Homo-oligomer: A and B are copies of this chain.
Amino acid sequence: MSKVVTGASMSLDGFIAGPGETGFEHLFAWYQSGDVPIASTHPEIPFNLTPSDAAYLQAWLDGVGVYIVGKRLFTLTDGWGGVHPADKPIVVVTHTVPEQWIAEHPEAPFTFVTGGVKEAVDVARGIAGEKMVGVSGGDVARQCLDQGLIEEIWVDIVPVLLGGGVPLLGELADAPVLLEDPEIVAGTRVTHLKYRVR
Contacts and interface: CB of A to CB of B under 8 A. Distances in A.
Interface of A: 11-15, 18-19, 22-23, 26, 145, 153, 155, 157, 159-164, 167-172, 175-182, 184, 186-191, 193, 195
A5 to B, nearest CB: 15
Contacts of A18: 175-176
Contacts of A180: 159
Contacts of A155: 12
Nearest to A190: B181
A161 B189 contact: no
Copies of this chain, how many?
Answer: 2
A26 B181 contact: no
A14 B13 CA distance: 5
A77 to B, nearest CB: 21
A79 to B, nearest CB: 28
A194 B175 CA distance: 27
A189 to B, nearest CB: 7
A176 B23 CA distance: 7
Given A12-B155, A193-B157, A163 B184 contact: no
B161 A179 contact: yes
12 contacts: A12-B153, A12-B179, A14-B14, A14-B15, A18-B176, A160-B176, A160-B179, A161-B175, A162-B176, A163-B169, A181-B187, A184-B191
